[in-house]
């Protein structure tokens, strides 16, 4: 811009100078939205999936059920640390659960090994990890599974409870039981996590 006694003449080019330290409104809105999303995800918590399946653990079969649980957890708003496959051995299951608890995840969902066959030892391994059983969750899962026609949910010995500040839940291994179980479980898990983290009293 040409300055001629403060007059702007035709043809002069005017350049607007933003004050130093100013922030574009679009950038500010984007940053606020991203921060809100991150805080929301953090409030819902971190999750880990433990698939109890001998063939998957040996690499003889792909883990489709773990992917399903992961997808459903993410749709519910949880950050999923990963999916771990272990053999149907009490020690292996217990080690996976203890590792998750020590790692500070908010919820661990185990899938499989909840029935009455000799290799179904997930509830037995879980009972040795829990500090406080929450039988109402397991009962709700069995009731909703039966109502939805998931037969293995009806004969499931699956447990639910708290270890440290981590909620541990056993689900039956079929896709039907997983889908119905996660639909029933999602609001319950959120409620328990809020109580464990003290958000309700904040």
The predicted structure's pLDDT at residue 12: 53
Does the structure show a pLDDT above 70 at 40? no
By residue range, what is the domain housing residue 75? Answer: 46-197
Note whether residue 186 is domain-resident.
Answer: yes
pLDDT at 148: 85
φ/ψ (deg, to 5) at 78: -90, 150
pLDDT tens for residues 82-111? Answer: 999 999 999 999 999 999 999 999 999 999
Q: 49: which strand partners?
A: 83, 109
What is residue 101's predicted lDDT score, i.e. its pLDDT? 97
pTM above 0.75, yes or no: yes
Angle between the N-to-C axes of helices 64-76 and 175-197, in degrees from 0 to 180, rounded to the nearest 10: 40
Q: Provide, rounded to the nearest whole percent, the portion of the chain with pLDDT above 70.
A: 76
Instruction: Read off the pLDDT band of 193 (50, 70, 90).
Output: confident
Give the total residue count for the chain: 202
Kindly state the percentage of the chain with pLDDT values over 90.
64
Residue 47 bridge partners (DSSP): 80, 107
168 in any annotated domain: yes
The answer as to whether 59 is a domain residue is yes
Q: What is the pLDDT of residues 70-84, one digit of tens each?
A: 999 999 999 999 999
- For residue 190, the model assigns a pLDDT of 85
Flag whether 27 is in a domain.
Answer: no
Q: Is the pLDDT of residue 18 over 80?
A: no
Residue 105 belongs to a domain with what CATH number? 3.40.980.10
Per 3-state DSSP, the chain is made up of helix, strand and coil in percentages (nearest 5) of: 50, 15, 35
Residue 150 inside a domain? The answer is yes
Whether residue 162 lies inside any domain: the answer is yes
Summary mean pLDDT of the chain: 83
Number of domains in the chain: 1
Give the sheet arrangement for strand 107-111, strand by strand.
79-86, 46-52, 107-111, 166-171, 160-163, 132-133
- The answer to whether position 14 is within a domain reads no
CA geometry: angle at 118 spanning 116 and 122, to 5°?
70
- Please indicate, yes or no, if residue 143 is contained in any of the structural domains: yes
If DSSP states are collapsed to H, E and C, what string results for 131-177?
A: CEECHHHHHHHHHHHHHCCCHHHHCCCCCEEEECCEEEEEECCCHHH
Each residue of 118-166: pLDDT tens digit? 999 999 999 999 999 999 999 999 999 888 888 888 899 999 999 999 9
Q: Which two tokens stand for residue 60?
A: 């003889």
- pLDDT in the model for residue 194: 85
């Amino acid at each position: 811009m040409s300055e001629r006694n403060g007059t702007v003449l035709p043809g002069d080019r005017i350049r607007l100078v933003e004050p130093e330290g100013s922030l574009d409104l679009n950038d500010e809105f984007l940053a606020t939205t991203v921060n809100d999303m991150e805080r929301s995800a953090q409030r819902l918590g971190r999750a880990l999936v433990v698939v109890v399946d001998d063939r998957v653990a040996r690499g003889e079969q792909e883990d489709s059920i773990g992917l399903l649980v992961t997808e459903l957890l993410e749709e519910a708003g949880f950050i999923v640390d990963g999916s771990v496959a272990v053999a149907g051995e009490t020690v292996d299951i217990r080690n996976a659960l203890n590792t998750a608890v020590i790692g500070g995840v908010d919820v661990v969902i185990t899938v499989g090994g909840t029935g009455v066959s000799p290799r179904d030892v997930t509830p037995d391994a879980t009972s040795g990890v829990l500090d406080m059983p929450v039988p109402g969750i397991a009962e709700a899962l069995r009731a909703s599974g039966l109502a939805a026609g998931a037969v293995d949910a009806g004969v499931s010995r699956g447990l639910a409870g708290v270890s440290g500040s981590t909620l541990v839940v056993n689900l039956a291994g079929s896709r039907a039981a997983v889908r119905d179980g996660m639909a029933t479980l999602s609001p319950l898990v959120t409620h328990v996590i809020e109580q464990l983290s003290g958000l309700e009293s904040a």
